[in-house]
């Protein structure tokens, strides 16, 4: 009998032990799923736990090509919190992502299927061999610009294939890439480029968003000024005469791009004459592959360092097992490459597995709300990975939209970036996954390099609001303030225990104290502090994440610190003082609310707009406060510290306790009234 694409079998409901998790809403994999899955025997957890170092060592040998084998792993845990993986091993990340496949049958397999935002522009399909050629050429371009092993290269590109080409080209020559999200402002780019001491920047003239062309180069120019960047390579995305598949040409409106003689070069000019082979640099396992800046609790973003051998081992195996990636699959991770999810699951992980990925340049609702589902139908996506915030957005738009499309090719769904609420989980499971796709809720961080807590598709269980168990070979724990394990309901702080995952950060760029203090300053050198709250739900080790416990927000899945926002606002000459807190939001998960004291002027819509613009310029539109509340006073302790905890309680509309110990208790009631009368966003 011919098998149809559609799999109609529903996942089996779980028999659950706890009352708050209704049986009918929790699921185990079907026999069919188990049969197909790379891992379906739960003994894997036990086996890996016996000797995690040996377990990861075996994985690293199995799928990674090493120029020189690594030595026994056991000895590199003496200097905690500094640790090493696969020591003395020599390899190249780009070789593993491309050459390995190009030498075998995957040579002409599609690596990237790129869907442009405009429906009139053709799809770009890059096979492994295409990608290999382009990466080699660009590696030679970088060399010709003087980039050497260990140099930092900034990448400030929209979601076009050149972003992966640039990253892999850096990896090929041993340069360290530092990608900055293209929606971040020029100022944000500059701050990161200065810290990274980047030599070269790769950017584009612009990109499309909801049909409009945005001038990225103008932002890049702001970002480059005053840095060590000597050369800027500019991809012509806007104004490009696109070569089409059937000889049809699409001429775009064009955008005037100011190119600075001697500093700025067009990507296509440099690529034209570049050699098509570049010998990969032999890298040590512990050589840095990339730095990615992320928000911490201070106003200054931190450069998270990821090393080569450990990171790619974890990227490869978490892609393969968490998403049950097979050669015939088509994987779509909607994350932009400017974030860690895009590094690991829109670039390295799938390519290391030899998988085919879809990437989409544009906004999810452009030209209409059906766009994402249309893409799934158009290419036959089998594994789909997105953020809860996107799911909630689609939920609000209604299930009529996904219903218009055939989504039967899907077999696995994933989510990442913030806790997913039950309604969104069920909607995603039902209306996108047709109640037959396991929903893998992956918990991880920029710092962990790859997903570390989630159910595996062939093992399960899949329970709304519960991420699952730690990946085999990973030990997590939930502790109270004193460091005692919390086993009961109340929850506590999520930590990871040594030996840490191979893909974990090795440091904060140029700031070793910050590394030691932030991650190991709470429970000591053997215990990585995640800054997340969590609860164990059963003896199996299934974990529910409850959100950040520090001053880091997740706004539509984007990581932001309240301190960064406060810095941006106080830089405005009209602002005397301000405090920013996060508050729950039905779609975005969390949004920032800013309380602002002005210098001798009344709050008005004009100044509000100016402050919003200030945030746009300093950080980017993702950080715009949902509300700005002007006030004359902020609740403070007697020593003059703003009590942000109280502000959080106020914005959530929760009951305020005793405020008599404050320096200015009356400020609380004034703010409560102001909040009640403020409606803006």
Task: Enumerate binding residues for ligand PRX (CB under 6 A).
Answer: 294, 340-341, 416-419, 441-446, 467, 530-532, 545, 548, 554, 559
Distance, CA of 130 to CA of 93 (rounded, Å): 17
Kindly state the smallest distance separating residue 533's Cβ from ligand PRX, in Å: 9
Q: How far is the CB of 74 from ligand PRX (least distance, A)?
A: 29
Residue 530 beta carbon to ligand PRX: minimum distance, rounded to whole angstroms: 6
- Helix, strand, or coil (residue 109): coil
The answer to whether the peptide bond before residue 499 is cis (omega within 30 degrees of 0) is: yes
d(CA 182, CA 159): 9
Q: Map tokens 């779509």 to a residue.
A: 332
The helix (run of H) or strand (run of E) holding residue 151 is none
Least Å distance, CB 304 to ligand PRX, is 8
**What distance in Å separates the CA atoms of residue 266 and residue 270, rounded to the nearest whole number?**
7
Nearest approach, Cβ of residue 293 and ligand PRX (Å): 11
Using alpha carbons, list the distances in angstroms from residue 400 to 103, 391, 468. 46, 14, 31
CB of 506 to ligand PRX, least distance (A): 16
Among 176, 157, 96, which Cα is nearest to 128's?
A: 96
Rounded Cα distance between 422 and 10, Å, is 19
Residue 554 corresponds to which tokens in the numbers above? 């997740």
Nearest distance, CB of residue 386 and ligand PRX, angstroms: 12
At 490 the three-state DSSP class reads coil
d(CA 646, CA 657): 9
Cβ neighbours around 125 below 10 Å, total: 15
Using the minimum distance from each CB to ligand PRX, give the nearer residue, 198 or 467. 467
What is the 8-class DSSP label of residue 640? Answer: S
Q: Which is nearer to ligand PRX, 312 or 643 (CB)?
A: 312
Comparing CB distances to ligand PRX, the nearer of 365 and 622 is 622
Question: Which of 227/445 has CB closer to ligand PRX?
Answer: 445
CB of 547 to ligand PRX, least distance (A): 6
Distance CA 622, CA 573 (A): 22
- Find the shortest distance in angstroms from Cβ 350 to ligand PRX: 16
Please name the helix (run of DSSP H) or strand (run of DSSP E) that holds residue 371, with its range, or none. helix 371-379
CA 401 – CA 380 distance, rounded (Å): 17
Q: Where are the alpha helices (DSSP H) in 52-160?
A: 52-63, 93-94, 100-102, 128-144
Work out how close the CB of 159 gets to ligand PRX at its nearest, in angstroms, rounded to a whole number: 16
Between 419 and 473, CB nearer to ligand PRX: 419
Identity of the residue, 184 or 443, whose beta carbon is nearer to ligand PRX in the bound complex: 443
Secondary structure of 375-394 in HEC code, one letter for each residue: HHHHHCCCEEEECHHHHHHH
Please name the residues in contact with 550: beta carbons below 8 A apart, sequence gap of 6 or more: 297, 531
Phi, psi of 522 (to 5 degrees): -95, -50
Residue closer to ligand PRX, measured from CB, 554 or 644: 554
Measured from the CB of residue 42, what is the shortest distance to ligand PRX in angstroms?
21
> At its nearest, how many Å lie between ligand PRX and the CB of residue 426?
16
Q: Which residues pair with 153 in a beta bridge?
A: 177, 200
Name which of 237 and 558 has its Cβ closer to ligand PRX: 558
d(CA 278, CA 275): 7
Nearer to ligand PRX, 96 or 445 (CB): 445
SS3 272: helix
Shortest gap between Cβ of 464 and ligand PRX (angstroms)? Answer: 12
Is residue 590 within 8 Å of residue 387, measured between CB atoms? no
The residues that bridge with 466 in the sheet, in sequence order, are 463
- Tell me whether residue 116 or residue 419 sits nearer to ligand PRX (CB atom): 419
- Per the DSSP assignment, residues forming a β-bridge with 208 are 213
**454 within 8 A of 471, measured Cβ to Cβ:** yes
Beta carbon nearer to ligand PRX, 285 or 562: 562
Measured from the CB atom, the residue of 334 and 530 that comes closer to ligand PRX is: 530
The interaxial angle of helices 666-677 and 644-651, nearest 10 deg, is 40
Would you say 157 or 340 has its CB closer to ligand PRX? 340
């Amino acid at each position: 009998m011919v098998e149809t694409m559609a799999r109609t079998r529903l996942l089996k409901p779980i028999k659950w032990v706890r009352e708050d998790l209704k049986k009918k809403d929790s699921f185990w994999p079907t026999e069919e799923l188990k049969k197909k899955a790379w891992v379906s025997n739960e003994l894997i957890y036990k086996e890996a736990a016996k000797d995690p170092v040996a377990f990861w060592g075996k994985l690293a040998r199995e799928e990674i090509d090493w120029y020189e084998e690594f030595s026994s792993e056991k000895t590199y845990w003496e200097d905690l919190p500094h640790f090493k993986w696969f020591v003395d091993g020599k390899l190249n990340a780009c070789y593993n992502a491309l050459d390995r496949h190009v030498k075998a049958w995957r040579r002409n397999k599609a690596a990237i299927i790129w869907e442009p935002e405009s429906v009139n522009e053709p799809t770009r399909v890059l096979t492994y061999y295409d990608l290999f050629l382009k990466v080699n050429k660009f590696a030679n371009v970088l060399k010709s610009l003087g980039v050497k092993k260990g140099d930092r290269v900034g990448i400030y590109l929209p979601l076009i294939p050149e972003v992966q080409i640039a990253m892999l080209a850096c990896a090929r020559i041993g340069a360290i890439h530092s990608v900055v999200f293209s929606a971040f402002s020029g100022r944000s780019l500059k701050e990161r480029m200065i810290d990274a001491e980047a030599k070269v920047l790769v950017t584009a003239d612009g990109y499309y968003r909801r049909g409009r062309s945005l001038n990225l180069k103008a932002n890049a120019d702001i970002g480059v000024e005053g840095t060590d960047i000597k050369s800027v390579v500019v991809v012509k995305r806007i104004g490009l005469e696109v070569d089409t598949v059937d000889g049809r040409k699409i001429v775009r409106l064009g955008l005037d791009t100011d190119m600075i003689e001697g500093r700025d070069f067009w990507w296509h000019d440099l690529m034209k004459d570049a050699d098509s082979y570049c010998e990969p640099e032999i890298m040590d396992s512990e050589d840095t592959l990339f730095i990615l800046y992320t928000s911490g609790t201070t106003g200054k973003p931190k450069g998270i360092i990821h090393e080569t051998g450990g990171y790619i081992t974890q990227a490869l195996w978490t892609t393969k097992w968490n998403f049950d990636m097979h050669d015939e699959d088509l994987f779509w991770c909607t994350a932009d490459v400017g974030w860690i999810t895009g590094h690991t699951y829109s670039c390295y992980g799938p390519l290391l597995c030899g998988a085919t990925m879809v990437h989409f340049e544009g906004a999810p609702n452009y030209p209409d709300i059906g766009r994402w589902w249309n893409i799934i139908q158009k290419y036959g996506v089998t594994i789909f990975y997105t953020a809860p915030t996107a799911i909630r957005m689609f939920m609000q738009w209604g299930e009529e939209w996904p219903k218009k499309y055939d989504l039967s090719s899907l077999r696995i769904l994933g989510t990442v970036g913030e806790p997913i609420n039950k309604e969104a989980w069920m909607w995603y499971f039902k209306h996108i996954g047709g109640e037959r796709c396991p929903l893998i809720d992956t918990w991880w961080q920029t710092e962990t390099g790859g997903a570390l807590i989630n159910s595996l598709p062939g093992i399960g269980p899949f329970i709304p609001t519960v991420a699952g168990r730690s990946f085999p070979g990973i030990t997590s724990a939930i502790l109270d303030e004193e460091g005692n394990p919390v086993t009961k309901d109340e929850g506590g702080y999520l930590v990871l225990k040594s030996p840490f995952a191979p893909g974990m950060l090795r440091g904060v760029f140029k700031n070793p104290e910050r590394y030691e203090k932030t991650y190991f300053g709470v429970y000591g050198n053997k215990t990585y502090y995640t800054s997340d709250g969590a609860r164990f739900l059963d003896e199996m080790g299934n974990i529910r994440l409850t959100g950040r416990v520090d001053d880091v927000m997740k706004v539509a899945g984007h990581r932001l610190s309240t301190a960064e926002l406060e810095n941006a606002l106080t830089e405005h000459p009209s602002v005397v003082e301000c405090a920013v807190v996060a508050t729950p939001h039905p779609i975005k998960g969390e949004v920032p609310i800013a309380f602002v004291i002005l210098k001798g002027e009344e709050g008005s819509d004009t100044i509000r707009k100016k402050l919003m613009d200030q945030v746009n310029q300093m950080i980017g539109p993702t950080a715009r406060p949902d509300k700005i509340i002007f006030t004359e006073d902020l609740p403070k302790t007697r020593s003059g510290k703003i009590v942000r905890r109280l502000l959080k309680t106020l914005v959530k509309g929760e009951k305020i306790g005793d405020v008599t110990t404050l320096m200015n208790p009356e400020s609380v009631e004034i703010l409560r009234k102001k909040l009640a009368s403020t409606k803006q966003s």
